[in-house]
A and B are shown apart, each in its own frame.
Chain A
Amino acid sequence: MADFEERRGLLGDENECPAAGGQGAGGASRPMAAICDPSHLLHRVVVLVFMCFLGFGSYFCYDNPAALQTQVIQDLNLNTASFMQLYAWYSWPNVVLCFLGGFLIDRVFGIRLGTIIFSLFVCIGQVIFAAGAWSNHFWLMEVGRFVFGIGGESLAVAQNTYAVNWFKGKELNLVFGLQLSMARLGSTVNMNIMGWVYSKVAVAVGSPGYTTLGISLMIAAGTCVFSLLCALVLAFLDKRAERILHKEQGKTGEVIKLTDVKDFSLALWLIFIICVFYYVAIFPFIGQGQVFFIEKFNFSPAQARAVNSIVYIISAPASPILGFIVDKTGRNVGWVFAAVIATLGAHMMLAFTFWNPWIAMSLLGVSYSLLACALWPMVAFVVPEHQLGTAYGFMQSIQNLGLAVIAIIVGVIVDVRGYLVLEVFFCACICIALMAVVGLYFVDYLKGGGLNQSAAARAKLQKETSTNAE
């Protein structure tokens, strides 16, 4: 799933918003049990649990096709190209919705209704997807993924907004970290459990086939219903807190102005190029990785799913650690360079050797986490704050565009030229990202920008500018 989570850290740090001030003021009129008191930590922990599970369903179901790749292809008689369409259809709506999500939450629905609506989309999308499999209509599955996509990415925006609203100025970074780990947990659990669910359903139904697949996906839809329930509970609790604490409804605070695009600097465009060409070598690869590991490395389907999910597993603990390291050391371009080189190495290992793929995939997991930590914050250094929303929206939008297009190309390459050419294609994408990193380093160097400064130099600079301002 596209890396929405990565930008949260930034938004959270910057939107230390005055709305927090009202908290606790109105709650004093009548004593409440800690767990029921919205201003109390214990209550917020309860809210946090619902918040984390809000996104669980969509993360779980996003990679359903990857987890059941062999079954989907066999039961519905697909080729790899049409299989990858399932991922492309998820990305298409988000090319536009990345700009709209924040607007819809702030101006149209409000956070509570918005979250419920997006959860409904996710839920209905997954049910349509499952129904398509159940009735052996592939087009219906594509429709399902499209509807699912409408909800999925915007739900992440909503989840973020809730977190800022409830935890700003308190345990916000921890909350972001927990939510990210929860998202990765959803992906991992999905990868490792869906094969088992399918085999159990196959035994119950009598034989594998599209009916079995449909039922398995319906069961997966249960996680979406669960997330929808979380959305409803959150809406109730948020409403209640608003009444008791007289606080405002949460806002994303994003202002998207498409005309800002013409002011984007060269450095920012290079960051966009890195983002697109890096991520297209990760997500579409994981999307069709299972069969690759089975065919090339003679893995069993269960082993293939496990190795495919290692990227997510590693990223759950590695993201906060690496994020901390990058924060402390600075030199973001250097870290991005290292991450891209490591990813290139991992893909070349997968392409040109028979070494155990656990090595390459673990390297991929670490480098992917490192890139996410180092790349996304760079945007904030090259864009004035009032354009930040537009820049991030634009970055996600073209990332989704890239994912949709590359997913289709990936399927065609596998069908026509096989996995070596596919891996070489991913290497080529990473190489383009690498060129952009090199370009970014020099552009930043020539402009005397601070992208590759150490954290100490940055702090010093900030101190100087602030004393100058005074």
Chain B
Amino acid sequence: MAAAMTADSGRVWGILLLFVCSSSQSLFNGGDSYKRELTVKLYPNTSSPPPGGELLHVRAVGGNDTLHFLFCSQGAPTLLVVHTDSPSSIVEVNWPQFVARNTSGSLRVEPQSSILYSTAVVFSRLLEYDDENNTAEGTSNFFPPYELQDFSWSPMNLSKPTAVICGSAPHAINGSLCFQLTVFGSEGRPELWPRLLHSPNSSQVEVWLDGLLPRSNTSRFVLELQAVGGAFPLSKVDVRQFIDDEYTPSIFKVSQWVSSANNGSDILGFVQWKPVAYRRPRPALEDATPCRHSEPQPWTGNKTTDSSALIKAFYSDPRAVGMNVSFGIAGEPFYNSTMFLSWTMLVGVGSPPVDSFSPLVIGIMAAGLGIPFVLLLVGGVCVFIMKRRDTSDAAYQPIN
């Protein structure tokens, strides 16, 4: 890209640009030194995983706090994030009780008093509807939903720093729904679209549906999410416009589902995504398909507890809020055009990361606006000096 942009404007430009870019890059990276140490633990730690599913614990220790990321495939896939104010807090799991799924408290964060905030996201159902009129409204013609707690989930495929689980529906012949959790120790941005900016306080979940046979030729899908929290579950979705689409081409919005204490302005936790899904594993721009979300609705906590072992084990009195994300809008190709859909979101604590212009953009604009200005200035000064010399020459001439 950079090469293409500078090819026409000559070598000097290119060198200048490179200089500006590299200097601003170092400036940017130098500003962020916050990092977290990650340690990963998998329950149960036997070699053959139990049929019921597993629990992954990623402990992210920072300077004076700890984040616990817990990802569980017992029942519906669930991600729990617990923020504690102590760098030495730990997670205690009573595995037999956890598997039995009848008491809360089988998973505890110690010391209890160190917990600042916790939030969980349960991926509860996958809905499919027949969009025969190509309106993508998703209000009728639903097929029986896929209950994700009934899926059989593969063992977790761990490769630092990600974990992947794939599951298939009870009677499905082929096709799978996969979740990939990535926990980050530092700020950065993945290589693949939508290239969400992540902070050390966030984790990324990518959901993809691969090869599942649709039940009609005009099927579209909807993913149902439930946010679970203690006092302050994620409540409202903010959609923000953002002028920089360079990391996610053609997407100028970012949606964030946030929780705030007593509706204050401080954000405790968030789920953030860009309203786009992709129809291919390594997407190009034309594989992007817009997605929409419904308004979050309060949900009965008990139902959620029944579907997810992790929620049951950690929360005694959970409060849940449900939301749907539907993929595709009117006129877009249907699922069966590629038999693939992927969607990515961030889950974290604190305020969601805010994107900024890349050094490339800043560099080009600075050079583009700066050089003509300098040229005008230098030229003006030169002309001024020459004019003075001319007039002074003229003044001397009579003496000669």
A→B interface (CB under 8 Å): 73, 77-80, 291, 295-296, 351-354, 402, 405-406, 409, 412-421, 424-425, 427-428, 430-432, 434-435, 438-439, 441-442, 445-446
Contact = CB atoms under 8 A, between A and B. Distances in A.
A446 B385 CA distance: 12
14 contacts: A79-B284, A351-B243, A405-B8, A413-B5, A415-B249, A415-B285, A417-B249, A418-B250, A419-B245, A419-B249, A421-B1, A424-B364, A439-B375, A445-B383
Interface stretch (B110-118, B177-185, B365-373): B365-373
A394 to B, nearest CB: 18
A412 B364 contact: no
Contacts of B286: 73, 77-79
B373 to A, nearest CB: 9
Contacts of B392: none
Contact of A428 (B241, B245, B364): B364
B8 to A, nearest CB: 7
A427 B252 contact: no
Interface string B144-177: 0000000000000000000000000000000000
B243 A424 contact: no
Interface in B243-276: 243-252
B9 interface: yes
Given A295-B251, A424-B365, 19 more contacts: A79-B286, A295-B250, A405-B8, A406-B8, A414-B249, A414-B285, A420-B244, A421-B360, A427-B364, A427-B365, A431-B368, A432-B9, A435-B375, A438-B372, A438-B375, A438-B376, A438-B379, A441-B379, A446-B386
B361 interface: yes
B4 interface: yes
A421 B2 CA distance: 10
A420 B251 CA distance: 10
Given A77-B286, A424-B361, A435-B375, A354 B243 contact: yes
A295 to B, nearest CB: 5
Contact of B249 (A351, A418, A428, A445): A418
Contacts of A434: 372
Given A79-B286, A80-B285, A428 B1 contact: no
B1 A418 contact: no
Given A409-B4, A412-B4, A413-B4, A421 B375 contact: no
A425 B5 contact: yes
A431 B379 CA distance: 17
Contacts of A421: 1, 246, 360-361
A419 B368 CA distance: 18
A420 B361 contact: yes
Q: Max chain B CB contacts within 10 Å: which of A73, A77, A421, A432?
A: A421
Contacts of B244: 420
Q: What 3 A-B pairs come out closest when comparing CB atoms?
A: A418-B249, A431-B368, A418-B245
Contacts of B251: 295, 418
A352 B251 CA distance: 14
Interface residues of B, number: 34
A415 B1 CA distance: 11
Contacts of A291: 250
Nearest to B360: A421
A417 B1 contact: yes
B221 to A, nearest CB: 20
B298 to A, nearest CB: 30
Contacts of A441: 379
Q: Max chain B CB contacts within 10 Å: which of A415, A419, A427?
A: A419
Nearest to A408: B4
A416 B284 CA distance: 8
A296 B9 CA distance: 28
B175 to A, nearest CB: 24
Interface string B343-383: 00000000000000000110011011101100110010011
A427 B361 CA distance: 11
Nearest to A434: B372
B372 A428 contact: no
Contacts of B372: 431, 434-435, 438
A79 B285 contact: yes
B383 A418 contact: no
Contacts of A79: 284-286
Contacts of B369: 431
B379 A417 contact: no
Q: Max chain A CB contacts within 10 Å: which of B245, B371, B379?
A: B245
Contacts of A414: 249-250, 285
B321 to A, nearest CB: 27
Contact of B252 (A78, A295, A445): A295
Interface string B381-400: 01100100000000000000
B114 to A, nearest CB: 42
A427 B368 contact: yes
A354 B241 contact: yes
A419 B248 CA distance: 10
Contacts of A438: 372, 375-376, 379
Contact of A431 (B241, B285, B360, B371): B371
Interface string B1-17: 10011001100000000
A395 B41 CA distance: 68
A151 B386 CA distance: 51
A312 to B, nearest CB: 25
B248 A418 contact: yes
B121 to A, nearest CB: 28
Nearest to B8: A405
Contacts of A402: 8
B194 to A, nearest CB: 11
Q: Max chain A CB contacts within 10 Å: which of B243, B252, B367, B368?
A: B368
Contacts of A413: 1, 4-5
B230 to A, nearest CB: 37
A414 B251 CA distance: 12
Given A354-B243, A425-B5, A428-B5, A296 B371 contact: no
A262 to B, nearest CB: 21
Contacts of B249: 414-419
Contacts of A78: 286
B242 to A, nearest CB: 9
Contacts of B8: 402, 405-406
B391 to A, nearest CB: 16
